[in-house]
Amino acid sequence: MSTLLVTGGAGFIGSNFVHLLVERTEHRVVVLDKLTYAGSYASLADLPPDRVCFVRGDICDASLVNDLVAVADAIVHFAAESHNDNSLANPRPFVETNIVGTYTLLEAARKHGTRFHHVSTDEVYGDLELDDPERFTETTPYHPSSPYSSTKAGSDLLVRAWVRSFGLRATISNCSNNYGPYQHVEKFIPRQITNVIDGVRPRLYGRGLNVRDWIHTEDHSAAVLTILERGAVGETYLIGADGERSNRDVVRTILEIMGEPADAYEHVADRPGHDLRYAIDSTKLRTELGWAPQYPDFRAGLEATVRWYRDNEPWWRPQKAAAEAKYARTGH
């Protein structure tokens, strides 16, 4: 049994990862989370206090980070500003948290010789044409588009430099679009589900032809745990579950599941610089570490996600009005 420091553990993917750790391992977990608008302590509230300890704080706070890293056997770093639309409106917090925050954690990990896993995104590779037969691999050149993805790319490069220059025992994973429980209602799938619950038509940016490569968040968590346990230090692993769908297909499926006409959606202004398509080739993770997704049926995963948002309105309701007010200001 060891102690894992999980940054961003009150966010969407981080909280799902902490649930998985409690269910599948014996590790003790220390969550460090600032509880920004995107973090929710309620996402962790049902977990046993003898296994999970919550610390509210900022990953840019070097003194706090040093104290927590000193007693950790490994760090799993999820904390980030994560939403592309927010990064277009105000990039500064993205530079601070994603770059300076990651730097702060790396310096503490270097000082204490702590194993480090950095959670990143496929968006660092930019986008693909709709008809491109290629998918992203670990050797695809970095070509990020937005302030969000460029700060994530910067954080990846910092991790690589700390491995090479200081011998840090680090791994990196770059994952595609996650869906599942505890995702903030600003994001595409929960926004549309909660809109339908509220009697509001889903909103598609532009023509809705952009493609995302969906993975259930529990599959992402299991992949991160696999890399933490068996990944080779210094290596990058891409995580994906062959889940490519156009945004229009996803909205139509949500509407069908929720008993509405499949075309009951609106087109709204497109996102500036909107990446066209992401697609992950996760062969390395599957062949070298033996990981495989357990939720390959996207429609079934979406049905379970719709049920979760119907059953957990007290969790998401407090976020909804503020998220929609933000979208109203940008014509989305």
Contacts with ligand DAU, residue ranges (CB under 6 A): 82-84, 121-123, 176-177, 187-188, 191, 203-205, 210, 212, 247, 271, 278, 332
Q: Tell me, residue by residue from 175 to 214, as one string, x for binding to ligand NAD by CB under 6 A and - for no binding.
A: x-xx-----x------------------------------
Q: Which one of ligand DAU, ligand NAD, none interacts with residue 170, CB within 5 to 8 A by kind? A: none
Q: Which one of ligand DAU, ligand NAD, none interacts with residue 127, CB within 5 to 8 A by kind? A: none
| Whether the Cβ atoms of residue 118 and residue 172 lie closer than 8 Å to each other | yes
Q: Is 99 in the site for ligand NAD (CB under 6 A)?
A: no
User: Strand pairing of 215-216 and 178-179?
Assistant: parallel
Is the four-CA dihedral 99, 20, 10, 28 of positive or negative sign?
negative
Nearest to 233 by CA among 325, 141, 109: 109
Residues numbered 5 to 34 that lie near ligand NAD (CB under 6 A) are 7-8, 10-14, 32-34
Q: What residues pair up with 216 in beta bridges, in sequence order?
A: 179
Torsion (CA) 182, 186, 191, 195 in degrees, nearest 10:
120
| Whether the Cβ atoms of residue 184 and residue 38 lie closer than 8 Å to each other | yes
Q: Is 38 in the site for ligand NAD (CB under 6 A)?
A: yes
Q: How far is the CB of 58 from ligand DAU (least distance, A)?
A: 19
Nearest to 35 by CA among 45, 50, 24: 45
Q: How far is the CB of 126 from ligand DAU (least distance, A)?
A: 11
Position with the least CB separation from ligand DAU:
121
Q: What DSSP letter does each residue of 115-150 carry, written as one string?
A: EEEEEEEGGGG----TT----B-TTSPP---SHHHH
Residue 266 backbone dihedrals phi, psi, to 5 degrees: -115, 145
Q: Is 101 in the site for ligand NAD (CB under 6 A)?
A: yes
Of the residues 122, 156, 218, 244, only one is catalytic, namely 122
Active site positions, annotated:
122-123, 148
The binding site for ligand NAD (CB under 6 A) comprises: 7-8, 10-14, 32-36, 38-39, 58-60, 78-82, 97, 101, 119, 121, 152, 175, 177-178, 184
